[in-house]
Structure 1
Amino acid sequence: MGNILMLYASSTGNTELIAEAIVDYLEQTGHQVQTKSFDFDPIDVGELLEYDAVLIGTYTWDEGELPYEVEDFYEELEDVDLSGKPVGVFGSCDSFYPDTFGGAIELMGDRLVDLGAKLVPERLKIDLEPSNDDVERSHAFAQTLLNMTKDTVNI
């Protein structure tokens, strides 16, 4: 089974709830998941290469920006070769700000694509707290990542 890294930043707890739903699904399908929070855990970009796939969750701050706790990681990504690495980006957003809805998710996704990562096509954006339908969307998102991972490793 696959070995997956889950990284996330959560201010209100909504992105954490999404991360938990994804991790629960992955573990139920027999995969090992290492979970780290940008708020509490040291994260070295080099460790991304130790996993079959990576998930990165972030909330969107202010005018569509990355939260401060994710900024250093975002910059340090340039130091690692992510060519072909299956990665998914997700997070909680607020539709009250339609012009910047999920801006941090877009920034992170664009950065990963620029660095050669194999990004899950859907950048999962959930409006505030995840509903039951959003949990199902999270599961489908995770399954897409697993399908992409099967193409690059034998899991």
Structure 2
Amino acid sequence: MKALAKKFSTKIESVKVDIIYATITGNNELLANAVANEFKKRGQTPEIHEFDDTDIFDLEDSDIIVLVCYTYDNGSIPDESLDFFDDMQEIDWTDKICAILGSGDKFYGQDYCKAVDTFAEQIKKTGANLATSPVKIQLAPDESDAPAIKKCVSELLAASN
């Protein structure tokens, strides 16, 4: 009975979570929503934004920043994320906890989710804590991707405590 009481008395502190995504096919919007839903299950209230609508300098109050991108034309990052990506060179995120996820198509071989890796390197340059390994999803997220999404969110929240 004590173990059960302890389980329910453990409260995760609320943190400010921002999820920023880019999508052409809708797959990354689905992925961003899946990540947001996992945060909600854990008592958090994430905000979801598209790269086009996000000024990186407005994320100053964020505790956790999750980026979700696709890979375009020969392994490039999405056009709508270029300004954000470039602005990452001007920021210091040493107090931020971050993750990068993205969907792709293995049909593209060595370019599969390459932008995810490119963003991961850029995140590291900001000084942020990349608290989880990059998550790469084949096409649209489905139930088989749930464990990777849960693990990502768990590691982000653990790093924030």
TM-score when scaled to structure 2? 0.87
d(CA) in 1 for partners of 2:80 and 2:87? 13
One-letter code aligned to 1:100: D
Within the candidate set 67, 84, 104, 1:93 is matched to 104
Match in the other structure for 2:20:
7
Structure with higher Rg: it is: 2
Select the residue among 54, 59, 64 that pairs with 2:65: 54
Name the residue aligned to 1:139: 150
* C-alpha contact (below 8 Å) 2:89/2:125 kept by paired residues: no
Q: CA deviation at 1:85?
A: 1.3
Partner of 1:110 in structure 2? 121
8 Å Cα contact 2:27-2:139 kept in structure 1: yes
Alpha-carbon contact 2:132-2:156 (below 8 Å) kept: no
1:22 paired with 2:16, answer: no
- Runs of 4+ aligned residues of structure 1 deviating over 6 Å after TM superposition are none
Amino acid at match of 1:7: I
Computed over aligned residues only, the root mean square deviation of the Cα atoms, in angstroms, reads 1.1
String of CA shifts for 1:90-119, please: whole Å, max 9, x gaps. Answer: 010110112111111111110010121110
**Aligned equivalent of 2:138:** 127
> What is residue 153 of structure 1 aligned with on the other side?
none
Q: 5+ unaligned residues in a row in structure 1: which ranges? A: 151-155
* Cα pair 2:69 2:77 within 8 Å, conserved: yes
- Greater helix fraction, Structure 1 or Structure 2: 2
- Aligned partners of 2:91 and 2:64: how far apart in 1? 14
SS of structure 2 residue aligned to 1:90: strand
| 5+ long unaligned stretches in structure 2 | 1-13
**How many equivalent residue pairs?**
148
* Aligned equivalents of 2:58, 2:147: Cα separation in 1: 29
The DSSP-based 3-state class of the residue aligned with 1:96 is helix
The offset of 1:121, in angstroms, is 3.1
One-letter amino acid of the counterpart of residue 125, structure 1: K
Contact residue 81 and residue 116 of structure 1 kept, 8 A = yes
1:79 is the counterpart of 2:86: no
CA distance in 2, matches of 1:141, 1:121: 6
TM-score computed with the length of structure 1 as normaliser: 0.91
User: How far off its partner does 1:47 sit?
Assistant: 2.0
